[in-house]
Amino acid sequence: MKYSTPELTPELVRKQLNRLLNQDELKRSPVLAKFLDYVVVSKLEGRADEIKDYTIAVKGLGRPADFNPQIDSSVRIHAGRLRRTLIEYYLEKGKDDLVIIIIPKGTYVPVFNAKATGEVDSQQVYSQNEFKEHARVRPPYKIGLMKPVLAVLPFHDLSLEPSNFFLTAFGEQLNTEISRFENISVISYYATEHFNLVRTELKDIRNQLEVDYILTGSLRISNGTLRLNIQLLIVDSGNILWSDTYTRQELTLENSYDILDEIVRKVANIVADDDGIISDLNRFKHLEDKGRHLSHEVGYTYNYDAEKFKATVSAIENSYDDANSNVMVISLLATLYLDQYAFSTCDEPQLLAKGKEFAARAIHLDPRNQHAKKAFAWGQILSGEKEKSLEAIERCIALNPTASSVLGNMGLGMILLGDYQTGYSMLRRSQALHQRPSVYAKFGLALYHYEDNNFEESSKWLARLIPFDIPFSCLLKLSINGYMNYPFAADEQLPGNLTEEALSTIGRIIFDRQLVNKIVNGCKMAGLALKEAI
C-alpha cells in the first residue's frame, strides 16, 4: 500500500526550515543556524550554484571579504557539524516530519525530500537514500563519536620589543601539529587570529567558532631568554584545564626554530595525543549503548582485569551493530581482538584473524586513519610477519611522526620483532615528547633492558606497569627474579592456568627465539617447572 505525499513547495520547505531553526540544538549554535538558513534560502531562490565555501562564510556567516577557504577550513567543519545535527534530529525528534532537509557529503547544497507517514512514497529533489545512508553511518545517541574541537588563539606579546613574527609562527605551527592527531578537530589558525581573549567573551567565541577548548597564553623575550606561558581552557566554564611555562635561554635567530619545534611538539602531545589531556577527559564521552556510558580501551590498559576486558569487548561489539561503518569503532574493535589474543593465556588464533579482518576493513574505509593504521600494524606484528610489519609500522608513523603514543606503540612492536635498537630509539623519542610514558612504552622499555641483561632496570619499568598486570608480565617478572636469584616462592600463585600455558603465552608475542628461551630459562631458574622452549 502506498500513501500520498504532500506537494513539496517552497512554502513547505520554509516552514520546515523555521521548525529546525527553533530546535534547541540550533538555538544554541548561531553559526549552524545561519549556515542552514543561508544554504536553504539560496537554493529556494535559485542560487544553488552560489553555495560555495567563500559565499557561505562571507554572505552567510558574516566573515570578512578576505576570507580564504584554502587556508581556513571553518566552513567545512561547520558543515560536518550541521550534517550530524540534522541527522540526529530526523532520527529522533523529527522522525515524523513530512519534509526532510539534509546536506549530503561532498556538497553544501541542501536536499529537500517529502515523505508520507506510512510507507514512504517520496517526491524528491535528490535521492532519499542519501539521507538513509547518513543515518546508517551515524545513528544518534547510540554511538556518537564527535571529536572535541579546539582553537589556538593568538598569544599575548609581553616582550619589550615586538615578537609578532615569532608568535605567528608559533601559533601556526602549533595549530598544524595538533591537527595531525586523530582525537581532536582544530579550527584553522587563520580563522581565529582576529580573536583576542581579553576583548572577547568566552561565550562569544563558543557561539562563533563552535569550540570546546581554547589554547592561548603569553610570550616574553628578554636578553636572549624566552618565557612562554600556555593555558588550556574549557570554553563552557572558563576553567583552566592545564597550564605550563617553558623557559629557554640563549635564544638566537639561528636556534629559534629548533626551540619552537621542541615546544610545539611537547605541547601538542600533552594536549592531543591518545594519552593527552583532552583525550583523557573526552575519551568516548559520547559513546553510549542503550543509555549506558562505555569506556575506551584505556580503562583496561591502565588497569587490566580479565572481566573488565571482556565487558569492554562485549560493549564495543554491541556498539558495532549500530555503527558498522564507523572507522573509529572498527579500529577499536580490531585493537580489542588483537589485545585479547596477545593478553590471554590461551592461544585463540580466531581472535588474531578477527582483529586483522577488522583492521583491514578500517584501512579500506579510511586509509589515513591513525587508529586504523596502528591496528593494522599490530595485526602484522602478532602474525610474526616481519617484513609486512616493518612496512605497516613505517606507514603508521608517517601519518604523525611526532606523536608520542604512536612512537611508543610501534617501538614496542619493533622490540617484539627482535629489532631492539630501532625499537629503543622510538621509545626514547616517545619519552622526550611526553612526560607520561604510555603502557606500551613502559612495556617496551622493560623488555629492552631485560634483553640487555639490565634486570634491575627492567624490573623498575615492569613495576611501573602495575596495575596493568597481564599474564605475560607475570612471567617476565618471574624470569627477572630467576636471574636476580629471587626464587619462586611455593605459596605464590600464577593467574589461571599460566603454568601450563607459559610457553604459548610467551611465544605468542615474542618473535625472537633467543629471547623466548631466555625468558623460559629465567622462569626455570626461579623454580617454575617448564618445558624447554621450542
Bigger pLDDT: 285 vs 352: 352
Q: Which among 70-84, 220-234, 282-296, 416-430 has the top mean pLDDT? A: 416-430
3-state helix, strand, coil in the chain (%, to 5): 55, 10, 35
Judge whether residue 56 has pLDDT over 80. Answer: yes
3-state SS of 80-139 is HHHHHHHHHHHHCCCCCCCEEEECCCCCCCCEEEECCCCCCCCEECCCCHHHHHHHHHCC
Indicate the pairing of strand 156-157 with strand 99-102.
Answer: unpaired
**How many Å apart are CA 181 and CA 136, to the nearest integer?**
26
Question: Cβ(136)–Cβ(325) under 8 Å?
Answer: yes
What are the C-alpha distances in Å from 44 to residues 47, 71, 80, 411? Answer: 7, 30, 22, 56
The pLDDT score that the predictor gives to residue 121 is 36
Neighbouring CB atoms inside 10 A of 108's CB total 24
**Poorest-confidence range of 23-37, 52-66, 316-330, 341-355?**
316-330
pLDDT (0 to 100) of residue 84: 81
Cell for 315?
560493549
SS3 438: coil
State the pLDDT at residue 305: 56
Structure confidence by residue, pLDDT tens digits, 426-483: 999 999 998 788 889 999 999 999 999 999 999 999 988 876 668 898 899 999 999 9
Q: Which residue has the cell 609486512?
A: 388
What the chain holds in terms of domains, given with CATH numbers, is: 10-137 (no CATH), 149-281 (3.40.50.10070), 287-401 (1.25.40.10)
* pLDDT of residue 254 exceeding 60: yes
Phi, psi angles (nearest 5°) of residue 499: -60, -45
pLDDT at site 343: 84
DSSP 240-287: EEEEEEEEE-S--TTTHHHHHHHHHHHHHHHHHSTTSHHHHHHTTTT-
pLDDT of residue 500: 80
Task: Of 359, 370, 354, 365, give the one whose Cα is nearest residue 325.
Answer: 365
Weakest-pLDDT range from 32-36, 44-48, 146-150, 299-303: 299-303
pLDDT digits (tens, 9 = 90+) for 331-385: 988 998 999 899 888 889 999 999 999 999 999 988 888 999 999 999 999 999 9
C-alpha cell at 284: 568516548
What percentage of residues in the chain have a pLDDT greater than 70?
80
Contact present, 243 and 214 (Cβ < 8 Å)? no
Q: What is the pLDDT of residues 223-251, one digit of tens each?
A: 889 999 999 999 888 889 999 999 999 88
15 C-beta neighbours (distance < 10 Å), count: 13
- Full-model pTM: 0.69
More confident residue, 426 or 142: 426
Distances from the Cα of 9 to the Cαs of 5, 49, 113, 132, 434, in angstroms?
12, 20, 10, 22, 58
Radius of gyration of the CA atoms of the chain, in A? 27
Assess whether pLDDT exceeds 80 at residue 280.
Answer: no
Strand partners, 234: 213
**Side-chain half-sphere exposure of 398, counting CA atoms within 13 A:** 10
